[in-house]
Structure 1
């Protein structure tokens, strides 16, 4: 029993079209693999955002402590001299051993 070309042609065309769309469903620019890749990038971006927000809150707290209403001038002077290694002429400096 020999099949005629018309009987073979329709299934071959449908298989080709199905294969084409199936391939692009998985591997295309907007396919399943691209979706997985975008979801992974989204998770990384969310983590970076959370870290940036935490850092921003820390800096906002630090900056709010520098406002005129909440800063003690004596504490500021003392802290600045410690950080800058600065002393006045009349200061007495006591060296302590480091641990």
Structure 2
């Protein structure tokens, strides 16, 4: 009978460290991007601040729109407001009545829209 000789090799230190080093590198990569990536923790704070700014702008624009809609409704033929018509005509035609007092403010452009 022939006895099989098994030869055991002692694993080198480098071979033992390859798997943990790869795992640590992968965890570091994903951890870095989870914190500072575009959609990470830092990115989320930026997105939330943009959302709050845009919501404030939306509220302002919505209020302006409501005001414009109400003013336009006053100019419709079925609900024409004579004061609104007079105001718009004077603004665009740059006209005043003879008995009115006009106060010009410096820095304003009059009759230009």
* TM-score bracket relative to the smaller structure: 0.5 to 0.7
| Mean CA deviation greater in 77-86 or 20-29 | 77-86
1:31 counterpart = 2:40? yes
**Structure having greater relative contact order (Cα 8 Å, sep ≥ 6):** 2
- Contact 2:75 2:81 (8 Å CA) reproduced: no
1:94 deviation in Å?
7.4
Match of 2:107 in 1: none
Whole-angstrom CA distance in 1 between matches of 2:18 and 2:85: 90
Unaligned runs of at least 5 residues, structure 1: 88-92
Structure with greater proportional helix content: 1
Per the alignment, residue 13 of structure 2 pairs with 4
Check 1:66–1:14 CA distance in 2 against 1; reply closer, same or farther (3 A cut).
Answer: same
Structure 2 unaligned residues grouped into runs of 5+:
1-11, 102-113
Indicate the structure (1 or 2) with the bigger Cα radius of gyration: 2
**Number of residue pairs matched?**
87
TM-score, normalised via structure 2 length: 0.59
Counterpart residue number, 1:86: 97
The two structures, once aligned, show a CA RMSD in angstroms of 2.8
Q: Cα offset for 1:63?
A: 1.1
Aligned residue for 1:65?
A: 74
TM-score, scaled to structure 1? 0.66
